[in-house]
Amino acid sequence: MDIAVVKYSGESAGRKVSLSSEVFGIEPNDHAIWLDVKSYLANQRQGTHKAKQRNEISGSSRKLKKQKGTGGARAGNIKNPQFKGGGRVFGPVPRDYSFKLNKKVKDLARRSALTYKAKDNSIAIIENFNFDAPKTAQYIKLLSSLSFTDKKTLLVLPENDKNIVLSGRNIKNAKITTAAQLSTYDVMNAEQLILVEGSIEKIDHLLK
């Protein structure tokens, strides 16, 4: 699949780049995408939720009333789960939500996600560029020149560039990542994928 390369200004660079069919043109596997997205979201969970159980509540262990003869249900101490302020039955406890996903499944999921973007013509390729200093206005200008200001975008860099990352991190619906950190979730969550020319070779190297 051939895609025209554009300059930072949005003008055509006068050449095209061929995307590998082994990465951008496979038969997509929806289940692999689902598993990888599920794994990504699970890994984001802190799992620090906690509710006190009966043995952790502060309070007296004295029996509140006699067992029989009151006309009401029998009751133990004030920490009983039925009472206000009592312990919670089977409440949440800290846990790790992450789960292992095989590398081959992750790679298949990313190739499938990239293939969907290629099929939808939602991939743009831009020449390698850099910013002299972090400037949000420069990144907004870049999106404007590509006519992507109203879209949720994902910019993929060959390597981490501090100035570019700092320029775009506060812009709504604009995310920046590197080829090595590219995730299935980020690709599927973006409406428009912007590949910096130098990142294509790295993506091919990682996923072929």
DSSP string, 155-188: EEESS--HHHHHHHTTSTTEEEEETTT--HHHHH
- Whether residues 92 and 113 share a domain: the answer is no
Nearest to 136 by CA among 166, 111, 112: 166
Name the 3-class secondary structure at 84.
coil
Q: Does one domain contain both 15 and 111? A: yes
pTM: 0.84
Number of domains within the chain: 2
Residues 160 and 129 in one domain: yes
- Residue 100 scores a pLDDT above 90: yes
- Are 203 and 157 found together in one domain? yes
Domain of 121?
A: 2-45+98-207
172-206 pLDDT per residue, tens? 999 999 999 999 999 999 999 999 999 999 999 99
